[in-house]
């Protein structure tokens, strides 16, 4: 299929949710994919490297690269990019993050590092950091307090005062590549993923909201399956939409909303973390696509991995089916 | 050239000296190269990984892989294998060592890791650890004391009581691959390199001396240029030969001996570390190949690198010329 006939689909996000969406959409031949990823990560392996080097944090870029990597080739390299050290003084470091840091140091820029990694992993599509400057997030809470740093906002502090707004500590600009990607997009996809620390973390960058607001692209939001303790406690589906509108200044045109019921045993596990299914309080209309789009996934907790893994995930193929009809 | 017409050349060593020899010999088409490398490294980046994982220490293997890598292709991968982190909690770690550790953990064995790295670096020839078991060195000194661990023996303690013998803390066997390599060799090359911690470190492995003693291959020793503080203080050329005979039970058939004179400024720098040119007290005969085989090299001290780098090195091309006439 010629490039001109392809629909330009751009995800804006980071983390596991974006990984799942990219994994699904990359199999649609009529789609040309770009992943705009957050540069706000400052916890775990990425945070340790960011502290040492001051490079752009590429933890979200790494996951997007992996999602877009060739599944049939580059097997060993994909395993390496996903590998986490579990022993000695490097325990907790992800090999892909070390790879991207070394590449950035050798080649001189993060974009060259991403380009080199894209070739090594035989990536289809492009991964584009939302800014060339690392972002430090500040969440203003409704009680007047504020929390600095992505990894602090990301902590599961159930019942914390709700987040009123998310900004960057110092003003940073959208990257040229991210601006171009959004400008040329036919479809923009937000979510799923932690509403503040993955999705809206991108919009602390000056220029992104403006691009999205003025874009003629369809804005699709894939609704989260669960609330996240300390970030979206008690959020209904409408509350998610409202937070997006408040931060971006534009409502999603289309909302993808999972309506399936999960096994009690797994709900219990989420409830133990004070996380609950997002309640569907949206109206019945054609812009709300309801259906069973998520599965129980036996995601292994990696040794040495300090981030707890969720066990219900959107299904890449089902996400892909939705977009085949949407495009 | 058919494989059967090729001369089988096997280096036994590790470190920078072996790197130089391999870099030179790999350009001779009539040579099929194998590098038998030590498994005694327990300092620096390799040591930290060895402490954490207990895998075979592959620091010497890494250097040999780099020496045999394709100089025209694999440019970025070679740069990565040579890259040392200089900042944050991973400062001092070599990327190649991390790569080999992750590969060993993913693939299950060190030999598969070396094989995979050989493909990634487009290596010509083979790198063979001398044993499948990590070695812990013990140096017995003439004053009755002993020093345990390679990195302690390697410390530049000028005037320390001379080393009487070098052994392994527990008995470990030669690997099948190393045994085969030595058994089939037409030429065996020892040195240059730290006499005890790089060259003789291999011979603490049960079975290697026996293979070398009974081998019909020519045994070539490339004499070190300088004494090493704490290891070979006051050693003349003959003292080097004697130490080899004492540990292996066989004298070199051919000794390559650099006779050039070095600039005073550089000699001064070595003298500051209590290291001095090895005095030539060998007889005049056909088995001693004398000539100018070394250069002043502006070897950069890598940032974050804790090992001081020497500034006079054998010249790979000149080493290669010697072997073209020898073979």
B132-147 pLDDT tens trace: 999 999 999 999 999 9
Least confident span in A33-42, A90-99, B130-139, B290-299? B290-299
- Pick B102's closest partner by Cβ from A53, A80, A102: A80
Q: What was the ipTM of the complex prediction? A: 0.91
Instruction: Name every chain A residue with its beta carbon within 8 A of the beta carbon of B103.
Output: 76, 80
Contact B91 A116 (CB under 8 A): no
What does the pLDDT read at residue A3?
A: 58
pLDDT over 70 (residue B310): no
| Mean pLDDT calculated for residue range B101-118 | 97
Instruction: Tell me how close the Cα of A93 comes to any Cα of chain B, in angstroms.
Output: 9
Mutant choice from A47, A51, A95, A114 vs B, greatest count of B C-beta within 10 A: A95
| Residues B181, B6: Cα–Cα separation, whole Å | 14
Instruction: Name every chain A residue with its beta carbon within 8 A of the beta carbon of B81.
Output: none
User: Above pLDDT 90, what percent of chain A?
Assistant: 89
Least confident span in A67-76, A88-97, A206-215, B217-226? A67-76
Mutant choice from A102, A104, A115, A116 vs B, greatest count of B C-beta within 10 A: A102
| Mean pLDDT calculated for residue range A72-87 | 93
pLDDT over 50 (residue A167): yes
* DSSP for residue A161: P
What does the pLDDT read at residue B305?
A: 47
Contact A90 B93 (CB under 8 A): yes
Domains of chain A in start order, with CATH, are: 3-41+131-326 (3.40.50.10680)
What does the pLDDT read at residue B2?
A: 55
| Residues A131, A231: Cα–Cα separation, whole Å | 23
How far, in Å, are A57, A61, A149, A200, B51 from residue A130 at the CA level? 11, 10, 17, 11, 39
| Mean pLDDT calculated for residue range B197-222 | 98
What does the pLDDT read at residue B73?
A: 83
| Residues A35, A22: Cα–Cα separation, whole Å | 8
What does the pLDDT read at residue B186?
A: 98
Phi, psi for A175 (deg, rounded to 5) = -75, 155
| Residue A304 confidence class, pLDDT cut points 50, 70, 90 | very low
What does the pLDDT read at residue B141?
A: 98
Structure tokens at B125: 């020839």
Contact B83 A105 (CB under 8 A): yes
Instruction: Name every chain B residue with its beta carbon within 8 A of the beta carbon of A116.
Output: 76
Contact B53 A88 (CB under 8 A): yes
H-helix or E-strand containing A51? helix A44-53
pLDDT over 50 (residue A196): yes
- Residues A213, A250: contact at Cβ < 8 Å? yes
Q: Which residues of B touch A (CB under 8 A)?
A: 48-49, 51-53, 76, 79-80, 83, 85, 87-91, 93, 95, 98-99, 101-103, 105-106, 116
Strands B137-141 and B146-148: antiparallel
pLDDT digits (tens, 9 = 90+) for B7-56: 999 999 999 999 999 999 999 999 999 999 999 999 999 999 999 999 99
| Residues A234, A236: Cα–Cα separation, whole Å | 6
Q: What is the mean pLDDT of chain A?
A: 94
Q: What is the mean pLDDT of chain B?
A: 94
Nearest CA in chain B to A55: B87
DSSP E strands in A57-115: the ranges are: none
| Mean pLDDT calculated for residue range B77-104 | 96
- Pick B89's closest partner by Cβ from A52, A76, A116: A52
pLDDT digits (tens, 9 = 90+) for B173-196: 999 999 999 999 999 999 999 999
Contact A98 B98 (CB under 8 A): yes
User: Above pLDDT 90, what percent of chain B?
Assistant: 89
What's the helix, strand, coil split of chain A in %, to 5?
40, 20, 40
What does the pLDDT read at residue A96?
A: 97
How would you list the strands of the sheet with B146-148, edge to edge?
A: B146-148, B137-141, B163-168
Question: What count of CB pairs under 8 Å joins A to B?
Answer: 71
pLDDT over 90 (residue B299): no
| Residue B5 confidence class, pLDDT cut points 50, 70, 90 | confident
Instruction: Tell me how close the Cα of B247 comes to any Cα of chain A, in angstroms.
Output: 34
pLDDT digits (tens, 9 = 90+) for A201-234: 999 999 999 999 999 999 999 999 999 999 999 9
What does the pLDDT read at residue B307?
A: 52
């Amino acid at each position: 299929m010629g490039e001109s006939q392809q629909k330009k689909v751009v995800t804006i996000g980071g983390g596991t949710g974006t990984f799942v969406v990219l994994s699904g959409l990359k199999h649609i031949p009529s789609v040309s994919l770009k992943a705009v990823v957050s540069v706000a990560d400052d916890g775990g392996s990425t945070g340790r490297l960011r502290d040492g080097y001051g490079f752009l944090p590429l933890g979200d870029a790494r996951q997007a690269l992996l999602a877009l990597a060739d599944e049939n080739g580059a097997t060993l390299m994909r395993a390496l990019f996903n590998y986490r050290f579990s022993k000695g003084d490097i325990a907790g470091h992800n090999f892909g993050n070390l790879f991207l840091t070394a590449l950035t140091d050798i080649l001189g820029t993060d974009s060259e590092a991403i380009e080199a990694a894209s070739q090594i992993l035989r990536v289809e599509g492009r991964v584009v950091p939302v800014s060339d400057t690392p972002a430090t997030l500040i969440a203003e809470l409704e009680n007047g307090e504020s929390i600095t740093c992505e990894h602090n906002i990301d902590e599961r502090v159930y019942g914390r005062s709700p987040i009123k707004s998310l900004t960057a500590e110092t003003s940073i600009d959208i990257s040229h590549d991210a601006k171009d990607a959004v400008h040329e997009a036919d479809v923009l996809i937000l979510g799923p993923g932690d509403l503040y620390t993955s999705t809206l973390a991108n919009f602390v960058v000056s220029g992104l909201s403006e691009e999205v607001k003025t874009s003629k692209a369809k804005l699709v939001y894939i609704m989260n399956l669960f609330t996240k303790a300390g970030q979206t406690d008690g959020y209904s589906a409408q509350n998610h939409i409202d937070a997006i509108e408040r931060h971006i200044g534009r409502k999603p045109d289309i909302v993808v909303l999972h309506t399936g019921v999960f096994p009690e045993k797994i709900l219990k596990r989420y409830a133990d973390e004070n996380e609950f299914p997002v309640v569907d309080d949206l109206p019945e209309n054609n812009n709300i696509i309801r259906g069973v789009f998520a599965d129980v996934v036996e995601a292994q907790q990696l040794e040495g991995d300090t981030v707890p893994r969720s066990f219900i995930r959107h299904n890449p193929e089902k996400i892909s089916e939705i977009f085949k009809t949407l495009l």
